[in-house]
Amino acid sequence: MDPEMDSQLKVGFIGAGNMAFGIAKGILSGNVLPVNVKVSAPSSRNLGRFQELGIAVTHSNIEVICGSDVVFVAVKPHLVPLVLNEISQHVTDRHIIVSVAAGVTLATLEELLPENSVAIRLMPNLPCVVQEGALLFARGSHAKQEDGALLRSLLHRCGLVEEGPEAWIDIHTGVSGSGVAFVYLFAEALAEGAVKMGMPSALAHSIASQTVLGAGRLLRDSGKHPAQLRSEVCTPGGTTIYGLHTLEQGGLRASTMSAVESATERARELGRKSAAGSRK
């Protein structure tokens, strides 16, 4: 996309949580100017950090929709019908509505918005805050390829941005949205293992976080399969293979796969509840 177009684009956020903040930081590190961004939330609790970025804040969702071209709906899933019903009469064909609410389907979004509205469903994750996110989006029935290209251009500083079919969004929620917490749990366990063996807690947590970061970067940048990298660390009869055997005995692999499955199914359940709520 033309950087000049990005700089003139007006972007709004309805909701001021971590996802909105992470995306806002990402787009501001690109070509979007703070003066062209506005955020709304019912309370002022989370608005201060947006103001520190030079972003205008308001308590009016209507003000955001009327002054924006691209609007990120970044509220809890159960609030999406309420918010879209409120702003619907102000949505025009110039708007791109991007929902980051877990489980809320494109069908639900399009049902709540005016006919022929451009809707996109996006699932980011928390590392967007440090521009290392993994984001997947799916276009609605009225969103054109160029709408997707515009969104990708906006978000490219947030991390990895991919497009796929909507069926993948709930899976992405499980593997990456929730998966971040799974990695944190593993990092915590690594550090606690080191503490158990006699290392000071602060140092153990610092080394554990760097280990996760370094392993992730090597995995991403090398292009190698995780199993190949794992085998490169293992030497016959060495420390790593003994540790891996213990992890396998504890069911780490199966538990992790089940965690992704559970989180994915929960996202789908939230989607069904949201759809049912929007029809009431």
Known binding site for NADPH: residues?
A: 61
Contact present, 209 and 223 (Cβ < 8 Å): no
Q: Measured between alpha carbons, how far is 73 from 27 in angstroms, rounded to an integer?
A: 15
- Which residues make beta-bridge pairs with 176? none
Q: Measured between alpha carbons, how far is 142 from 272 in angstroms, rounded to an integer?
A: 22
C-alpha distance from residue 107 to each of 2, 71, 75, 164, 243 (Å):
31, 18, 18, 16, 47
Q: Where do we find the tokens 């997947």?
A: 136
The phi-psi region of residue 145 (left if phi > 0; otherwise alpha if psi is between -120 and 50; otherwise beta) is alpha
**Strands (DSSP E) along 140-249, which ranges?**
159-163
Q: For 75, which DSSP code?
A: S
**CB burial of residue 131 (10 Å; 0-12, 13-18, 19+):** middle
What Rg value do the Cα atoms of the chain yield, rounded?
21
In degrees, rounded to 5, the angle at the alpha carbon of residue 247 between the alpha carbons of residues 212 and 234 is 70
Q: Which residues are documented as binding site for NADP(+)?
A: 14-19, 74-77
Contact present, 93 and 119 (Cβ < 8 Å): no
Contact present, 117 and 100 (Cβ < 8 Å): no
In degrees, rounded to 5, the angle at the alpha carbon of residue 102 between the alpha carbons of residues 97 and 106 is 45
Q: Which residues are documented as binding site?
A: 14-19, 61, 74-77
